[in-house]
Amino acid sequence: MRLNLNQLAIFAKVIECGGFSAAAQVLFLSQSSVSKQVQNLEASLRTVLVDRSGPKIRPTPAGRVLLAQTKEMLALADHAVGAVQAAARWPNERLVVGSTAAVGDYLLPAVLRELRRREPDGLFTVVVNSPECLAGALQQGRIGVGVADGPLPPGRYESEELASDEMLLICAPDHPLAGQEVTPADLSAESFLLLESGSQTRRQLLELLHTWDLVGARTLDLWGTESVREAVRIGLGISLVPRRSVRFELLHGVLAELHVDPGPTPRTVTANWTVARPLSPYEELLLSLLREVANTPTTPPSSLPPEPGRPGPGSGPGSGSGGTPPPPGIPLQARRAAGGAEPPPALDEAEPSTRSR
């Protein structure tokens, strides 16, 4: 014998409401339909479940036994539905987010914070790699969604422009040209700090040096946005960065901007998603949050309160107040796993730790 969950739910509602008519109103069904479902349940069990003799219906002894079991069965069914929905939201128990490193440093933390707020039980891993490796993982469906600072190489996946990223030259706050309008010729004696090979920012800075006729300028190769910020802060050279990645340092006087004409052109932050397989609901939510956060206007630095551990405006180096600069921030590192210690998969086994900006 197979019990019908729908019939059991209607039976429980009839007992709860004390009548067929009242139950029909709650269930948005006709009274005859509710009565028929209960009769069918009684026929399948070959016993009377409802005492219809009084002004208010009551369960028979057999009906009371079934009612207790029905509540347990319906609760178990609800639990099963929730478990299936959770499995659909979080395939393989973990969401893998692909990223190039610059947006991984300053854009993804806000996205992942909102993702965790909405889905506190979801697990996610951020894998940072080069545009080429990110494109390959998307084409093969090893990751569902990836975000990059610029277009990825052409491939079998969908892409969408999220926002324009303003780029600027930064220098130490005590640099003689800090905050000034300069020409490329004024920069001929400067050292330019380059990110690692394959970086989008490195390519853009090298193109600028060519445009400025400074191909022979001194350069120094570094690894990671944080190392560039620190090297610039102590006066090792000047470099190119997204404005959003240094907005607090500019506000607090830890770094300064160089205004050069012609200046760097903005670049586009892109969201990219696989077409090799359907996106899970969890990946769809990630894509939606990327659009939401990337298109949120950056709060003007003057209206932002100081971060914990950071000095307020006017207390940074060069302010004359004797303040100490804030400690360097900790960027979102490649292969950070949130919500568990399980190591994330590499996007490309041949180049597992490549970072790109």
Q: What is the reported pLDDT for 170?
A: 92
- Please say if the pLDDT value at position 125 is more than 60: yes
The pTM assigned to this predicted structure is 0.56
As given in the structure block, the two tokens for residue 341 are: 């210690």
Which residues face 146 on adjacent strands?
Answer: 98, 272
* pLDDT tens digit sequence for 211-221: 999 988 889 88
Round to whole Å and give the CA distance between 169 and 261. 11
Residue-wise pLDDT tens digits, 252-302: 999 999 999 898 989 888 889 888 778 888 888 888 888 888 776 554 443
Instruction: Please report, as a single letter, which amino acid is at residue 292.
Output: E
Q: Is 1.10.10.10 the CATH number for 5-89?
A: yes
What's the mean pLDDT in 328-348?
38
126 pLDDT band, cuts 50/70/90, is confident
Q: Looking at residue 92, what is its pLDDT?
A: 54
Structural domain boundaries of the chain?
Answer: 5-89
CA 237 to CA 243: how far, in whole Å? 17
Q: Is the pLDDT of residue 344 over 80?
A: no
